[in-house]
Chains A and B, each alone.
Chain A
Amino acid sequence: MTAIAHIQPIPRMSLRAGLAAFAFVAILVLGTGLLLMETSLVTSAGYDNARLVEEKRALEHDTQRLEAEVASLRSLDHVEAEARSKLGMVNATSYLYIQVDPNLKGR
């Protein structure tokens, strides 16, 4: 009598289990990818924020400097110097008051 060897069939993964495994791996990959992307975005936003804060600070300082410059240009000393040098004006030494009839109307 010949012995017939019974070979146990290798249990094959069911289709459902395979899909589940694939989905798990896919979610894992996707989750990791999203985490990496989020980290990257946060890092980038952090750098952007720091840069913008510095820019704002620099602009505020620029505004201060420009306000000081404007104030200096509008100072009475500067205005007087400009009036003297560019317009040739001098201080009034006498005043002439012209009396105008308040009832006089222009033609």
Chain B
Amino acid sequence: MNQPASVSSWRLGFVLLAFAACTLALVVRIAYLQIIQHDEFIRQAGETHWARETIAPQRGAIRDRNGHPLALSVSTWEVSLDFSGVPSRELRAQAVEAVAKTLSQGRDEVEGKLAAAPAPPVHIAEKVEFTQGKGLAEAALPGVVMQERVHRTYPEGSLGASLLGFVGRDRTGLTGLEADFDRDLAGVPGARVFERDSVGHPIPLGYHAATPPKAGGDLILTIDRYLQRTAERELSAAVTRHRAEGGTIIVMEPDTGAILALASRPTLDLRALDLADSKTVGLVRNRAITDEYEPGSTFKVITMASALNEGAVSPEMTHNDSGPVVKYGRAIDNWDRVHYGTQTMTQVLVRSNNVGAVWVADRLGPERFYSYVERFGFGKPTYLGLSGEAPGSYRTPQHPAFSPIDLAANSFGQGITVTPLQMITAISAAVNGGNLMRPYVIQQIESPEGVRRFQPVVTRRVLSTDTSRKVREMMKVVAEEGTSKKADVPGFFVGVKTGTASMIAETGGYGDATIASIVGFFPYPEPRAAVLVKLDHPKDSPWGSQVAAPVFAALAREALVYWRIPPSQGALAYANRP
């Protein structure tokens, strides 16, 4: 029997209505997804479909003046395991097996690291050689995280560590040349954009665009690795021998201002850097340019050179050292408290006579004296190009706290602070013919764009050629007859001046500790190198003539043999004198 037509149409209407409602719901949902959330899904699709990779550039090398590498970059892998998105036991086991095999480790060892780690990703190994880890990276096993790292290597160990500095994990230079020349060394990263398939591999016929990275430039230093190594070896030996707190050696080419060696102790161990160790922070600074000290008697060379250049004294001029000189109520005595009566200006330097230095400064007068101190470059950075350079300090007559006693104290290197770099730059000017050179440590930068060469720069003329000749002659006599005989190098003529200055105590004023130093050049009469040796707080002897002079002699002898400079006939005859 048939249903009534009205009941049938009601049911049909209900079904149609249900269908219409469902259709409407679907349309609304589709509209929501396609219109409202359009951008979000486009973004998600793009992330899945498009891949963008950064291609790290090769960081430039740092080389010595002869091209020997001091710092190089090598690509390595950092291997980690992250099984948070890998539920399959089989896949996990496969990954562990592959990692263990690649790293030549036992499977138990890798599993032990996994078990010991609190949370993924678990760090398994670092500095894995590129070729060793390449296969594992290409296999793209689930859970295996391979990150390419640029590892900085130092073929010469920690040679020049405080000068070179180091880079962080993000390949950015953090200290030293690595930081100051980061823009030149780092290069420009490249990028690769491509379409990828469902497992992440590039689609061969898909879109692919790449910007290649630009490699960083190589820094060619003025440093000579042999002299640097010799300087560091002699400095380390002296610091140990005299139980000093530290020290500095700078070797400079006086005619150009090029730095041939720059050593500091204590220093970093670049091969075992631990940035988490607070002691490392204290070792980072380059003491040769950041630390100020009172130069002591080495400054008498500057005082004497200034007076000679002004015609205020001559090497043969005499004065009478009859006892301590009293200046503005304060007595100034010689370091040995011995007074020699009538003595020449050369003898003032030979005996490192404080009373004589005060007399010379008085003849020069404060205006001319401080004019020369400024012209020699003290009180301002040398603009070497490295960050953290200290300017040094002294008071001029225009300074509100200036006292007339300052002139007397400054004449023999007290009451004035300098950096080792300033001191050797000034000494170079005194012996190179009178030109103050701007010191430099970068010889050239070789990048894919070209080569940038750095030429010697004359900052200013300070002394006449004749004055400079007289200074060289006087410093030679000091090495032969003076307090610095331990700086003598048999077979060669050298010129030196030693200094011993009290260190300023933390509580203020002078303490018992001293800074023993020497400045000099070799060979005489045409200097090839100017050298500063400074030892901080030597415990067995406070004197520069006892502590620093032998270091100068050892370094000079090595350098002269290295440069194949033959001994002079006159010096041999002098060395063989009865």
Q: Across the interface, which residues of A come within 8 angstroms of B557, CB to CB?
A: 95
| Most-contacted residue by chain B among A64, A72, A77 (CB, 10 A) | A64
Could you count the A-B residue pairs with CB atoms below 8 Å apart for me: how many are there?
65
Cross-chain contact B129 with A75 (CB below 8 angstroms)? no
Task: Name the CB-closest residue of A to B569.
Answer: A99
A39 at the interface (CB under 8 A from B): yes
Q: Across the interface, which residues of A come within 8 angstroms of B129, CB to CB?
A: 65
B68 at the interface (CB under 8 A from A): yes
Q: Which of B22-30, B70-78, B180-188, B498-506 sits within the interface?
A: B70-78
Q: Across the interface, which residues of B come within 8 angstroms of A50, CB to CB?
A: 202, 204
Given A64-B75, A76-B225 in contact, is the A43-B204 Cβ separation under 8 Å?
A: yes
Q: Across the interface, which residues of B come within 8 angstroms of A77, CB to CB?
A: 156-157
Separation of A74 and B225 alpha carbons in the complex (Å): 12
Q: Which of B555-570 contact A (CB under 8 A)?
A: 557, 561, 566-567, 569
Q: Across the interface, which residues of A come within 8 angstroms of B72, CB to CB?
A: 64, 67-68, 71
B229 at the interface (CB under 8 A from A): yes
Closest 5 interchain pairs by CB? A71-B155, A46-B204, A61-B130, A71-B69, A72-B155
User: Size of chain A's interface in residues, with CB distance under 8 A?
Assistant: 24
Separation of A98 and B233 alpha carbons in the complex (Å): 28
B385 at the interface (CB under 8 A from A): no
User: Can you list 21 residue pairs at the A/B interface with Cβ under 8 Å?
Assistant: A43-B204, A46-B205, A58-B131, A61-B75, A61-B130, A61-B131, A62-B130, A64-B75, A65-B130, A65-B131, A67-B69, A68-B72, A68-B74, A71-B155, A74-B68, A76-B156, A76-B159, A76-B226, A97-B491, A97-B567, A97-B572
A24 at the interface (CB under 8 A from B): no
Separation of A58 and B135 alpha carbons in the complex (Å): 11
From DSSP, what is the main secondary structure of chain B's interface residues?
mixed
Q: Across the interface, which residues of A come within 8 angstroms of B490, CB to CB?
A: 95
Q: Distance in Å from the Cβ of B543 to the closest Cβ of chain A?
A: 25
User: Size of chain B's interface in residues, with CB distance under 8 A?
Assistant: 31
Q: Across the interface, which residues of A come within 8 angstroms of B491, CB to CB?
A: 95, 97
A22 at the interface (CB under 8 A from B): no
Cross-chain contact A64 with B156 (CB below 8 angstroms)? no
B411 at the interface (CB under 8 A from A): no
Q: Across the interface, which residues of B come within 8 angstroms of A58, CB to CB?
A: 130-131, 134
| Most-contacted residue by chain B among A47, A60, A65, A99 (CB, 10 A) | A65
Separation of A95 and B554 alpha carbons in the complex (Å): 12
Q: Distance in Å from the Cβ of B558 to the closest Cβ of chain A?
A: 9
Separation of A77 and B230 alpha carbons in the complex (Å): 11
A30 at the interface (CB under 8 A from B): no
Task: Name the CB-closest residue of A to B61.
Answer: A67
Cross-chain contact B131 with A64 (CB below 8 angstroms)? no
Q: Distance in Å from the Cβ of B148 to the closest Cβ of chain A?
A: 9
A26 at the interface (CB under 8 A from B): no
Given A43-B204, A75-B157 in contact, is the A64-B226 Cβ separation under 8 Å?
A: no
Q: Across the interface, which residues of B come within 8 angstroms of A99, CB to CB?
A: 569, 572
Separation of A47 and B205 alpha carbons in the complex (Å): 9
Task: Name the CB-closest residue of B to A50.
Answer: B202
Q: Which of B272-323 contact A (CB under 8 A)?
A: none
Separation of A60 and B75 alpha carbons in the complex (Å): 10
Cross-chain contact A43 with B205 (CB below 8 angstroms)? yes
Q: Which of B139-164 contact A (CB under 8 A)?
A: 153, 155-157, 159
Separation of A92 and B134 alpha carbons in the complex (Å): 48
B484 at the interface (CB under 8 A from A): no
Q: Distance in Å from the Cβ of B87 to the closest Cβ of chain A?
A: 31
Separation of A97 and B491 alpha carbons in the complex (Å): 8
Given A64-B58, A68-B74, A74-B68 in contact, is the A47-B204 Cβ separation under 8 Å?
A: yes
Task: Name the CB-closest residue of B to A53.
Answer: B210
Q: Across the interface, which residues of A come within 8 angstroms of B229, CB to CB?
A: 76
Q: Distance in Å from the Cβ of A47 to the closest Cβ of chain B?
A: 6
Q: Distance in Å from the Cβ of B43 to the closest Cβ of chain A?
A: 27
Cross-chain contact B156 with A75 (CB below 8 angstroms)? yes
Separation of A72 and B70 alpha carbons in the complex (Å): 10
A35 at the interface (CB under 8 A from B): no
Separation of A97 and B561 alpha carbons in the complex (Å): 11
Q: Across the interface, which residues of A come within 8 angstroms of B159, CB to CB?
A: 76
Cross-chain contact B155 with A68 (CB below 8 angstroms)? yes
Task: Name the CB-closest residue of A to B566.
Answer: A97
Separation of A97 and B226 alpha carbons in the complex (Å): 22
Cross-chain contact A42 with B205 (CB below 8 angstroms)? yes
Q: Which of A53-97 contact B (CB under 8 A)?
A: 54, 58, 60-62, 64-65, 67-68, 71-72, 74-77, 95, 97
Task: Name the CB-closest residue of B to A96.
Answer: B491
Q: Across the interface, which residues of A come within 8 angstroms of B225, CB to CB?
A: 76
Q: Distance in Å from the Cβ of B282 to the closest Cβ of chain A?
A: 26
